[in-house]
């Protein structure tokens, strides 16, 4: 069950909000990290994110098979924060996945039956049209992924300048 989808632009406070959101509602907390330390700059980003998480968080590093990781660890945790969906999508594209749409469909279907989770994602479609085909494909797929994830989420929050705006709230 997707508890919440947290979206927004770069450095808008998405991850921080997702962690606080989960901490206020659940006890046993896990972060499913999709980032890969492929260069020094990304290693630094990952280290900064780790240092921002309180000690009660467990981290599961999984760049591609996020639902399988959550199912494998479901008995140990009350909630999983997946950070982030757009990095997961990048990982698929960089691995040469010819049909990421199938992976998106499978992920969304699996999330409906997965343990409770909070999804973090980037909004990349509000800027200019990218100049190359791969970047345009990524932007389009990210929009599809985010729309589909929002459909199966109980709540959707949009981060702007570190301020969360509730876009979809639980129905009674």
Which residues form the catalytic set? 49
DSSP SS3 for 11 = coil
Cβ–Cβ contacts within 10 Å for residue 9, how many? 16
95: which residues sit within 8 A by CB, 6+ positions away?
64
CA 8 vs. chain centroid, Å, equals 11
CA nearest neighbour of 51 among 67, 31, 79, 36: 31
């Amino acid at each position: 069950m997707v508890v919440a989808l947290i979206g927004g632009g770069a450095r808008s406070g998405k991850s921080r909000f997702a962690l606080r959101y989960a901490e206020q509602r659940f006890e046993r907390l896990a972060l499913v990290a999709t980032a890969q330390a492929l260069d020094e700059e990304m290693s630094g980003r990952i280290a900064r994110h780790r240092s921002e998480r309180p000690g009660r968080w467990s981290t599961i590093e999984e760049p591609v098979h996020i639902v399988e990781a959550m199912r494998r660890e479901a008995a140990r945790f009350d909630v999983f924060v997946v950070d982030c969906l757009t990095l997961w999508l990048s990982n698929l594209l960089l691995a040469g996945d010819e049909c990421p749409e199938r992976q998106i469909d499978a992920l969304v279907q699996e999330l409906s039956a997965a343990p409770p989770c909070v999804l973090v994602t980037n909004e990349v479609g509000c800027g200019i049209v990218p100049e190359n085909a791969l970047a345009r494909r990524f932007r389009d797929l990210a929009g599809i992924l985010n729309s589909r994830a929002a459909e199966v989420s109980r709540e959707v929050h949009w981060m702007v300048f570190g301020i969360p705006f509730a876009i979809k709230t639980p129905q009674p």
